[in-house]
Amino acid sequence: MSELVVGLSYRTAPIALLERAALGDDAARALEAQILRQDHVAEAVVLSTCNRLEVYADVTRFHGGVDDVGEALAAATGIPLPELIAHLYVHYEAAAVTHLFAVASGLESMAVGEQQILGQVRTALRAAQDGGSAGRVLSGLLQRALHVGKRAHSETSIDRAGRSLVEAGLDRAAAVVGPLSGARVLVVGAGTMSGLVVATLQRAGVTRLAVANRTPERAARLAGPLGARVVPLPELSSALADADVVVSCTGAVGHVVPADLAASAAAVRGGRPQVYLDLALPRDVDPAASEVPGVEILDLEDLGRDLAAATGSEHVEQARAIVAQEVADYLTARRAESVAPTVVALRARAREVVEAELARLTGRLPDLAPEVRAEVERTVHRVVEKLLHTPTVRVKELATAPGGDAYADALRALFDLSVDPRIDADAEVFAVPPARTAALTDPQPLRAGGAA
């Protein structure tokens, strides 16, 4: 089994396509279930954010896995596969691990170093685990990615590498409407992103702030601590006319601010400039509103261009060094783990041979004294144990190097072993029967993956 990533992001696709590909939570879970029904996929986790849609999968074959995931993505998004393929990227095995660790560290974010992606990865993992699409492989991989992301933020200053999307947007807005400390700002939405927006506005000195949301209670929870005004959605039209800057970041399907509503608000404003900062995907503000005199719309695509150069190279390079180290450690551990089923199979084969020969001895010498029988059994076990010790230890050591799985392949071929890849690496597969251990003074039971 191998890790595979198939996805698209702001780096490979225009915002218009990302908007069409955006999936809500229920759709993401349905996509995971659909992918699991394919022939070459054992596990799947869908990561869907405003800037990316990615499928992380554990697959049996590369080409088969890519085909399965690509077709499922096309069906889930409604985008024809030929059109989708032009914007997809594919990472496999080590490259897939590297990509995921970089994503969790904020290195692949539009706003380099942002921490929100950690929560999004964690949420995607938990949802996939609850739905049964994430098993041992992907659960371990994504948990390791969360660890890497936390390291990148705690051991470097990558979170200072670039301005946030909100900061970049507000800087652009201030260039149009003047200092924000004197502006009226309306935030549409009351989710996590809206909370970040409100906190940034507060730091920017905004005092005339209003929050609109479909659920007034949520708007009140966000607005209350700051003394902001709560706007019921039926009053959105008048609130838009009153706002110099509108920041919208809802999870709604369809435009929250259609072009005619923006035009009505602009008419009331009498030509005073107004900026819509649209942080949602799908977009909350109808792009046609940009044709209204006095209205400027800034969306994720615009902000992405502004942030492209804000990479904070020193901090980014430090974070990339952590990612590289963690990838190497993960791959080394995975290679060592991959030989465990072979070691288990080898020891199981030895156990079968020992038990067969001891049974034959009992048949040929039924009157053998119990103490002699115990000594013979102990001797046989010790001989086999010593013979197995070096190859099992060495194959684990050699497996940690690139190409080390060839040694496990050789063991399987030489001893004609049938390997179960799902077997527990700590399973006891060659041990002296418990009833006999009291008579033995030397070896302890052998466990797969190591010597007694």
Q: Taking a C-beta distance cutoff of 8 angstroms, is the pair 143, 63 a contact?
A: no
In the chain, CATH 3.30.460.30 sits at: 2-162+312-334
Selection from 156, 53, 169, 143 nearest residue 113 by Cα:
156
Whether 273 shows a pLDDT value over 70: the answer reads: yes
Of 333 and 236, the structure prediction assigns the larger pLDDT to 236
Q: What is the model's pLDDT at position 6?
A: 97
Q: Which of 50, 118, 295, 345 is catalytic?
A: 50
Please give the mean pLDDT across all residues of the chain: 85
Mean pLDDT across the stretch 440-452?
Answer: 32
Euclidean distance between CA atoms 209 and 318, whole angstroms: 38
Query: Band of the pLDDT at 322, cuts 50, 70, 90?
Result: very high
Euclidean distance between CA atoms 362 and 452, whole angstroms: 26
Q: What is the model's pLDDT at position 451?
A: 31
Mean pLDDT across the stretch 80-103?
Answer: 96
Question: What does the CA dihedral 253, 70, 147, 18 come to, rounded to 10 degrees?
Answer: -30
Euclidean distance between CA atoms 375 and 352, whole angstroms: 19
Selection from 108, 112, 111 nearest residue 99 by Cα:
108
Euclidean distance between CA atoms 66 and 72, whole angstroms: 10
Whether 278 shows a pLDDT value over 90: the answer reads: yes
* Proportion of the chain above pLDDT 70, given as a percent: 89
Flag the least confident range among 74-88, 148-162, 269-283.
148-162
Q: What is the model's pLDDT at position 300?
A: 86
Query: Band of the pLDDT at 247, cuts 50, 70, 90?
Result: very high
Q: What is the model's pLDDT at position 337?
A: 72
Q: What is the model's pLDDT at position 266?
A: 95
Q: What is the model's pLDDT at position 417?
A: 81
Q: Which amino acid is at 56?
A: Y
Give the β-pairing of 41-48 and 52-59: antiparallel
Q: What token pair was written down for 24?
A: 């809500």
- Strongest mean pLDDT among 194-203, 243-252, 399-408: 243-252
| The model's pTM | 0.69
DSSP 8-state symbol, 107: T
Cis peptide before 282 (omega within 30 of 0): yes
Whether 435 shows a pLDDT value over 50: the answer reads: no
Whether 347 shows a pLDDT value over 80: the answer reads: yes
Q: What is the model's pLDDT at position 442?
A: 33
Query: Band of the pLDDT at 433, cuts 50, 70, 90?
Result: very low
Euclidean distance between CA atoms 210 and 249, whole angstroms: 14
Whether 330 shows a pLDDT value over 60: the answer reads: yes
Cβ density class 367-381: b for 16+ within 10 Å, e for less:
eeeeeebeeebbebb
Task: Tell me the HSE value of 450 on the side-chain side, using a 13 A CA sphere.
Answer: 8
Flag the least confident range among 10-19, 113-122, 189-198, 337-346.
337-346
Euclidean distance between CA atoms 339 and 361, whole angstroms: 33
Of 117 and 311, the structure prediction assigns the larger pLDDT to 117
Longest CA span, the chain = 111
Whether 252 shows a pLDDT value over 60: the answer reads: yes
Q: What is the model's pLDDT at position 444?
A: 32
Whether 310 shows a pLDDT value over 60: the answer reads: no
Q: What is the model's pLDDT at position 404?
A: 67
What are the CA-CA distances from residue 192 to residues 119, 132, 195 (Å)? 10, 26, 5
In the chain, CATH 3.40.50.720 sits at: 165-307
Residues forming beta bridges with residue 276, ordered by sequence position: 246, 297
Cβ neighbours, 10 Å, residue 52: 23
Whether 37 shows a pLDDT value over 90: the answer reads: yes
Provide the CA 60 distance to its chain's centre, in angstroms: 20
Strands ordered across the beta sheet of 2-9: 41-48, 52-59, 2-9, 89-92
Q: Taking a C-beta distance cutoff of 8 angstroms, is the pair 235, 265 a contact?
A: no
What are the tens digits of pLDDT across the range 61-74? 999 999 999 999 99
Residues forming beta bridges with residue 278, ordered by sequence position: 248
Cβ neighbours, 10 Å, residue 107: 22
Query: Band of the pLDDT at 191, cuts 50, 70, 90?
Result: confident
What are the CA-CA distances from residue 233 to residues 166, 212, 236, 269, 395 (Å)? 23, 6, 5, 19, 66
Q: What is the model's pLDDT at position 432?
A: 39
Q: What is the model's pLDDT at position 288?
A: 95
Whether 11 shows a pLDDT value over 80: the answer reads: yes
What are the tens digits of pLDDT across the range 149-162? 999 999 988 876 55
Q: What is the model's pLDDT at position 311?
A: 52
Whether 216 shows a pLDDT value over 90: the answer reads: no
Whether 450 shows a pLDDT value over 80: the answer reads: no
Q: Taking a C-beta distance cutoff of 8 angstroms, is the pair 326, 148 a contact?
A: yes
Flag the least confident range among 35-39, 109-113, 396-400, 425-429.
425-429
Residues forming beta bridges with residue 229, ordered by sequence position: 210
Q: What is the model's pLDDT at position 438?
A: 33
Is residue 50 part of the annotated active site? The answer reads yes
DSSP 8-state symbol, 291: G
What is the topology classification, in CATH, of domain 165-307?
A: Rossmann fold (3.40.50)
Q: What is the model's pLDDT at position 33?
A: 97
What are the tens digits of pLDDT across the range 126-142? 999 999 999 999 999 99
Assigned architecture for domain 2-162+312-334: 2-Layer Sandwich (3.30)
